[in-house]
Homo-oligomer: A and B are copies of this chain.
Amino acid sequence: MSQQRHGNTPGNADGGRAGSVTAFPDLPEATIARLPEYLRALHNLGEAGADTVSSEGLAAAAGVNSAKLRKDLSHLGSYGTRGVGYDVALLIDQIEYVLGLDQRRAVCLVGLGNLGHALAGYDGFASRGFKIVALFDADPSKVGEEIQGLIVRHIEELGRVAVEENIAIGVIATPAGAAQAVADVLVDAGVTSILNFAPCVLSVPSGVDVRKVDLAIELQILSFHEHRKASLTALPGGRSATAAGNQEAVGS
């Protein structure tokens, strides 16, 4: 059983960083993960009427350290003006280009149960560069149902439709037991990026990227911190003055 993890740094001794031949300077993975956050903050600022923004201001809006933000952006090139800041519109274009959002990507969703319905009805995709073009399920009673203007198709059609619609990203919202099988179907159909909501590890060939979202893991991490905090507050002193309310305000 070789479960391949996405991304590079698989083993190590192998061919090494395959990503170095791209048209981009290799961006650190940590930077890539923050770019979408900067982009969202920039859109907010733009809608608020800002033409330019300083690294300090943008960092605050994105919830990061300003030095980190500057270093992240410097990896994309020099799009700031010293003494002034960054041009909001220009930076938006640049980040969208790097993230490949200038071309609206086609997404398919597999598994239209509880979660799948919510995702299908989510308007946050379209506004962020994605378009759900197909829905699939294995349950005959679900096939044919219309959701948000799309008809649920049987998963057997996935191979054909994926090619027709040029689907690059697949979202899995099936039970864990079916997730690997669905992933295999997606990979066979040529899908090279998968977002997995099922709580399980997927095994995919190298070259296919998998990202996982697991609610229970998030809650358990919070639980750990609760546990730790509880063991701390066992000390005297009790709660400090928190009844007053929030003190922090989002700057600018």
**CB within 8 Å of B: which residues of A?**
1-7, 15-16, 18-27, 32-33, 35-37, 39-41, 60-64, 77-78, 98-101, 105, 107, 114-115, 117-119, 121-122, 124-125, 128-130, 168-169, 180, 184, 187-188, 192-195, 199-201, 203-205, 207, 209, 211, 213-232, 235, 240-243, 245-250, 252
In contact, A63 and B221 (Cβ under 8 angstroms): no
In contact, A22 and B209 (Cβ under 8 angstroms): no
Residues of B with C-beta under 8 A to A231: 21-24
Q: How many copies does the complex hold?
A: 2
In contact, A216 and B128 (Cβ under 8 angstroms): yes
In contact, B61 and A247 (Cβ under 8 angstroms): no
Select A220's contact among B129, B180, B245, beta carbons within 8 Å.
B129
17 contacting pairs across A/B (C-beta < 8 A)? A19-B232, A20-B242, A21-B231, A24-B249, A25-B247, A33-B217, A36-B221, A62-B201, A99-B223, A100-B223, A129-B220, A130-B216, A130-B223, A169-B222, A184-B246, A211-B221, A213-B213
Residues of B with C-beta under 8 A to A77: 252
In contact, B195 and A20 (Cβ under 8 angstroms): no
Given A15-B240, A128-B216, A192-B226, 7 additional A-B pairs, CB 8 A? A15-B242, A21-B246, A114-B118, A192-B229, A195-B215, A205-B247, A205-B248
Residues of B with C-beta under 8 A to A100: 223-224, 226-228, 230
In contact, A61 and B201 (Cβ under 8 angstroms): yes
In contact, B247 and A22 (Cβ under 8 angstroms): yes
